[in-house]
Amino acid sequence: MAMNDQPFIETPLEDMILSAQKGDQGVQHHLLKSYQPFIAKCVSEVCKRYVDPQTDDEFSVGLNAFNEAIMSYCPKKGGSFLAFSKLVVKRKVIDYIRYIRKTPQAVSLDEDFNEEQMENPVEILAVTEAYRKEQQTLSLREEILDFKEKLQSYKLSLDQLTEVSPKHRDARETAISVSQMIYNNPEMSSYVRRKKKLPLKGLAEQVKVSKKTLERNRKFILAIFIILDEDYAYLKEYLKGVG
């Protein structure tokens, strides 16, 4: 390993990616250099043959794609960087090969190359779908962890919600409707955010639900309000099936 690579030996990969995204060209160069074997392997899997980093255009395409992956990777979306970059590299190389084949008078990269040699489209779809599901799972997990923290600020917990959630469908639908009404009312939503509780007196005057019922479902209504009030894409989608 070159002397100038020493500072990167124990640096976590995601930290280096973040540094590169912030403009550290030294880190960016290190990543592009040290991951060339990985890039070559990804490109070879698409081309179904050995790819020479020094002479093959496909490798250059893969290298540029890896650089794009460095700059566009977002750990908050879930999934590892290597899984993400592998997908980006393979997609770019496949697109390049198809472009070359369709371009008149283009220099053939491999006279014996045919569509069958390219990575199976079904495999690409499977990898894409697997990565999408992995991202969704990780994003949902992050939302739930954040939701648990927000619940604590309201002196609530997931265990409590399991116990107090309305058992009947119509009761759940009514409680969700009340939460939506509060969320859409600037004065009430502001009150809930500030006080971390329901404005029971004013609420009972605006909904066709008794104050006693509102009190009984108070924790559930607050929990739904939190979901509506936060940027929870997956939990909001889940709400559609709660009723």
Domain positions in the chain are 3-119, 144-239
pTM confidence score: 0.50
Question: pLDDT value at position 51?
Answer: 87
Q: What mean pLDDT is predicted for residues 36-41?
A: 93
**Sign of dihedral through CA atoms 140, 143, 148, 154?**
negative
Q: Is the pLDDT of residue 108 over 80?
A: no
End-to-end CA distance of the chain: 60
Question: pLDDT value at position 110?
Answer: 46
- Percent of the chain exceeding pLDDT 70 equals 79
Burial letters 149-162, b for 16+ CB under 10 A, else e: ebbeebebeeeebe
Q: How confident is the model at residue 112 (pLDDT cuts 50, 70, 90)?
A: very low
Q: How confident is the model at residue 178 (pLDDT cuts 50, 70, 90)?
A: very high
Question: pLDDT value at position 165?
Answer: 87
Question: pLDDT value at position 10?
Answer: 63
Looking at per-residue confidence, does 18 or 114 come out higher?
18
pLDDT digits (tens, 9 = 90+) for 127-165: 556 656 666 776 788 888 889 999 999 999 988 888 888
Per-residue three-class SS string for the chain: CCHHHHHHCCCCHHHHHHHHHCCCHHHHHHHHHHCHHHHHHHHHHHHCCCCCCCCCHHHHHHHHHHHHHHHHCCHHHCCCHHHHHHHHHHHHHHHHHHHHHHCCCCCCCCCCCCHHHCCCHHHHHHHHHHHHHHHHHHHHHHHHHHHHHHHHHCCCCHHHHHHHCCCCHHHHHHHHHHHHHHHHCHHHHHHHHHHCCCCHHHHHHHCCCCHHHHHHCHHHHHHHHHHHHCCCHHHHHHHCCCC
Question: pLDDT value at position 132?
Answer: 62
Q: What mean pLDDT is predicted for residues 184-189?
A: 92
Question: pLDDT value at position 185?
Answer: 92
pLDDT digits (tens, 9 = 90+) for 218-235: 999 999 999 999 878 888
For the chain, what is the mean pLDDT? 81
Q: What mean pLDDT is predicted for residues 49-56?
A: 87
pLDDT digits (tens, 9 = 90+) for 54-101: 888 899 999 999 999 999 888 776 678 888 898 889 888 888 887 777
Q: How confident is the model at residue 115 (pLDDT cuts 50, 70, 90)?
A: very low
